[in-house]
Amino acid sequence: RNAARVPVRVNVDPQPVNGVVTIRLEIADGFHVNAHEPGDPGLTGLSLVLVGEGVELEVEYPAGTPLQAEFSENEILVYTGSVEFKAHVRKTGAAPGRPRLLLRWQACDDQVCLAPAEDVLPVLIGEE
């Protein structure tokens, strides 16, 4: 196993357009990322959460693609290839500090899942 191979690359536009942030995942061949609700309680689904106050977040998660993985008895929902989704951020009051978006995901191949990963997205919130 090549530990240096990163199965997921995250791209985001740092400046929201009309309060909408577009997030893109580039998932390496042979890997998938568990959908927001993967259908197996043992798996970590894709999630975007807000760290901070004074802002509301609403996320439009894409629908997952069904997959029968070796490690799960049931079919699970996953993302593969290039996936794009949108998050709506709205300022609701004075935000102390700088609110941040935290993206969490779990990448898997056919046999095994990697440890869940997270990334703080470099999005400027409330600085229109």
- Is the pLDDT assigned to residue 15 strictly greater than 60? yes
Looking up tokens 């196993």 gives 1
Closest CA to 52 of 127, 125, 128: 125
> Whole-number mean pLDDT of the chain?
87
Burial of 88 per CB tally in 10 Å (0-12, 13-18, 19+): middle
Sign of CA pseudo-dihedral 85, 91, 96, 98: positive
Residue 95 has a pLDDT of 65
The residue behind tokens 């580039």 is 26
**Of 108 and 5, which is predicted with more confidence?**
108
Residue 19: the pLDDT is 87
Domains and CATH numbers, the chain: 8-112 (2.60.40.1250)
What are 17-54's pLDDT values in tens digits?
Answer: 788 999 999 999 999 999 999 999 889 999 999 888 88
